[in-house]
Structure 1
Amino acid sequence: IKIGRDGFFDYLRAHRLLVKPKRSYTKTTFSKHWMKKHPNLTKDAPAPIKPEQTLVADITYVTSKQGTHYLSLVTDGYSRQIMGYHLSESMPATEVVKALKMAAQRRRYTHKAIHHSDRGLQYCASEYQEVLRANNITPSMTDGYDCYQNALAERVNGILKNEFLLYECNTMSELKQLIDESVYVYNHIRPHLSLNMRTPAEVHDGYSCPA
Structure 2
Amino acid sequence: MMYPLVSELAADQIPVAVSLRVLKLARQPYYRWLQNPVTEAELEAAHRANALHDAHLNDPEFGYRLLRDEAENAGAPMAARTAWRLCHQNGWHSAFGTRRGKNGTRPGPPRPARA
TM-score between both structures, scaled by the size of structure 2: 0.22
Task: Please identify which structure carries the higher strand content.
Answer: 1
Structure having the higher Rg: 2
> Which is bigger in relative contact order (C-alpha 8 A, separation at least 6)?
1
